[in-house]
A and B are shown apart, each in its own frame.
Chain A
Amino acid sequence: MTTLTPLHVLMLGAGSGIAQATARLYAAEGAVIGLAGRNAERLDAIAHDLTARGASRVEIFEIDFVTAEPAQALADMVAKLGGGDHFILAYGVLGDQAAAERDLTAAQTILDVNFRSAAGWALAAANLLEQQGHGSLVVLGSVAGDRGRRSNYVYGAAKAGLAVLVQGIDHRFRGRGPRAVIVKPGPTDTAMTAGMAKGGPLWATPEAVAAVVRKAADRGGPVVYAPARWWLIMTIIRAIPAAIFNKMNF
């Protein structure tokens, strides 16, 4: 199903499990899709899949988000794509919390990938969106950013910072057309969580999260949980007094 003027979508971190599932939704709408990420061979496999599923056109951009310079690189990608209506910022690393406590450079890498560099890309996209006066930026945060837990608080801190940044961008956009949303998934069955015991009511499929991401690009926000039940769970978890929280083991 190709619409008359297809949406132009840029996936930053297109190899991510959640990004792939989201891109399939755009492909079924006949969108023009840009896939940005480090591994061109894998992006090529994804591009073929999206084309077979109905994407109007797919472009691949081989890029390392940590070392690239966001403003220029983003402008180049959008020019090659022929437009940028939706930006989905999905790349990230979970990192190893224990290693991050022993070795501060490991901690800095987690912060660098998930916050410092991601903030740069989000701000670059914000400037571009503001200039063109329409479109949306959807950034993948995490429920881990809602309250510090000993098992992943360095990662959580980066995602918390990212959430505030995106909220601020959306505030800045108010009344000017564009939108910004931070989507906070709970545990999701992707490569990021390989090796964890999965299953049970707290785990979601990348497809379920992707449906939330796709909808967030059209309406709602600026803070959206995926799946929606995490809003309630995190509201409760944030409300637990520290004296009790610190005795809990999770």
Chain B
Amino acid sequence: MQVAHPAFRDQLDGLIRAGAAGNHGLLAVGKLRSYGDSCLNGDGSAIEMAGLERFISFDRRTGVLEAEAGVTLAEILRVAIPAGYFLPVTPGTKFVTLGGAIANDVHGKNHHRAGTFGRWVRQFSLARTDGSQQVVGRDDASGLFAATIGGLGLTGVITRVTLELMPIASSRIDLQTIPFGRLSEFFSLAAESEASHDYTVAWIDCLAQGDKLGRGIFTRARPSSDGELRVSNKSGPSVPIDAPGFLLNRLTLSAFNEAYYRIAGRPRQASVSYDPFFYPLDAIGGWNRLYGRRGFYQYQSVVPPAVAEAATTEMLRTIASAGQGSFLAVLKTFGDVPSPGLLSFPMQGTTLALDFANRGRSTLSLLDKLDAIVREAGGRLYPAKDGRLPPAMFRAGYPALNQFTPHMDPGMSSTFWRRMQL
């Protein structure tokens, strides 16, 4: 992959022309925080947008911000929090760019309230490889707005973005953790909390079997009202080298899960800074190295509400009996707020995010089994967290694909897209 690193907007035109002329076309990328190959372009070319990271305007009265597409959510928080604003939607890491957040139409712990990131985007500028520049807004009738939100970078290069921020009275979060002993309790806790709390999420012990199956810890939270508006500048420890492969095995994982469940497994109320609440992994630089050199697979699915409990139970049972527990297993319900993108991942239902240490064939065969459950349930997988999704499963999960493809920029492509054989 040939990567260009522009630092100023005037450099873009030439780079887009040059990149699109080559083999396998061009892809704009952000901070490469996607796990799979949707942010890669094989032997094609790429433009790393992270150097275009300037604000264009910030209206402190309305909370409307315009910025270059490479601005990270971390930089937005640095400016927004002291002015009394927060990101309306944020993923679990703040080191992603505006362009990347749009192209994957990312979601956060408040999906049931706020929907996806794209809903807060008023407009963006899109540079296409034919040399054209367009400002595309919510009111766009052509379909290009809906195609670009969640469009995996394939409709052109997003150069600037206008985003609505959300007013806050405090940068602290009031949270409550509630342990639950089985999956059905998760669903009742989620249903009960959605009206009262902006943020909900649950950690699941994937190794628990039998009558402990689906036990976990439910967290619900809302912004505090204490008036403190402080940007967190902490950077925590980092993992300097790849951990030996034995560190995360079934024994250590089940010991960890058991301990975690016991320690965190008491109902608790706390007031914490936004940073550890939203971005726990950002505090551990290189946390992925805990998995050792063979790395890991991410797997995130969503299944519709009617079958959510049955399908999730089936998935957890499959994982537990394969003995390949996931270190970070996160369960959350997505609300009924419609996603603005044709290929947006979030839809109403329950999402389960997992990661598995890579043990080769046995891991892949477990993922195949999970695929079957998700497909049967009428669900889909998240391309941002994928390196193996079978093309047929992608097509089945994203019925709007045929509306999407006419909006693609013929000069753009990605390794993921070629793998999907579309």
Contacts and interface: CB of A to CB of B under 8 A. Distances in A.
Contact of B7 (A17, A49, A53, A54): A17
Contact of A45 (B5, B9, B65): B9
A42 B67 CA distance: 15
B57 interface: yes
B55 A49 contact: yes
Contacts of B8: 42, 45
Contact of B54 (A1, A17, A49, A191): A49
Interface in A191-228: 191, 194
Contact of B55 (A1, A41, A48, A194): A48
Interface residues of A, number: 14
Contact of A52 (B10, B58, B82): B58
A52 B9 contact: no
B231 to A, nearest CB: 10
Contacts of A49: 54-56
B36 to A, nearest CB: 24
A52 B65 contact: yes
Nearest to A46: B54
B10 A41 contact: yes
Contacts of A53: 55, 79
Interface in B1-32: 5, 7-10
A52 B7 contact: no
A41 B13 CA distance: 15
B9 to A, nearest CB: 6
Interface in A32-53: 41-42, 45-46, 48-49, 51-53
Interface in B277-323: none
Nearest to A41: B10
A52 B5 contact: no
Contact of B56 (A41, A42, A52, A191): A52
Interface string B58-72: 100000010110000
A45 B10 CA distance: 10
Given A49-B55, A52-B58, A53-B79, A42 B10 contact: yes
A194 B65 contact: no
Contacts of B65: 52
Contact of A194 (B5, B10, B67, B68): B5
Contacts of B82: 1
A48 B54 CA distance: 8
Contacts of B9: 45
B263 to A, nearest CB: 37
B5 A48 contact: no
Contacts of A42: 8, 10
Contacts of B79: 52-54
Interface in A8-43: 17, 41-42
A157 B9 CA distance: 34
Nearest to B59: A52
A53 B77 CA distance: 11
A45 B8 CA distance: 8
Given A48-B57, A52-B55, 18 more contacts: A1-B82, A17-B7, A41-B10, A45-B8, A45-B9, A45-B54, A45-B56, A45-B68, A46-B54, A48-B54, A48-B55, A49-B54, A49-B56, A51-B57, A52-B67, A53-B79, A54-B79, A194-B5
21 contacts: A1-B82, A17-B7, A42-B8, A45-B8, A45-B9, A45-B54, A45-B56, A45-B68, A48-B55, A48-B56, A49-B55, A51-B57, A52-B55, A52-B56, A52-B57, A52-B58, A52-B67, A53-B55, A53-B79, A191-B7, A194-B5
The 10 A-B pairs of least Cβ separation, nearest first, read A52-B55, A49-B54, A52-B58, A49-B55, A42-B8, A48-B56, A45-B54, A53-B79, A52-B57, A191-B7
